A and B are shown apart, each in its own frame.
Chain A
């Protein structure tokens, strides 16, 4: 079965601390993985996708097929990073399977 698991419901860090939001997936084929973010009072939007292999707002995520993980990392958290983060597994039909979401709280 296809599944995305984000084990942490809430992650609270201090400004300047490193951040790692965990994501594990279950999928028999070749996965397409994404991170979506929802800032307060804004719509859900794409943060990054694994095929792009880019850094957005200082965030990176590496696909580890051996561990079936796609963790989101940032070396130094900023207060404006506080948001809800969703890891998602994509299918060719356009369907996205989302994880449960992790709220990142960056304290001053």
Chain B
């Protein structure tokens, strides 16, 4: 079956702009989690959505937001981009979000200039 699909794979934005990233989970998976990965901070949890509801949230400012649609696809939005937002953004899908393994997408590499 198809894996987790993230689009776009690469993105370049200017400071102050906003960006929307998309994640299509594995068919049948209802949980989607988002992570930010940078060389300095490693993999950091952003938030998790399950059945269109945000269930858990990491320690990121309100500029980072997300949503999930009825088909379980999820989007992540970052407003007023800063240089420090340059990172690899990964999403992971799982059947229930806990007690089961998560499958990660290839990520979207965002560069803010």
- The answer to whether A and B belong to the same complex is no
Chain B residues with a Cβ under 8 A of chain A: none
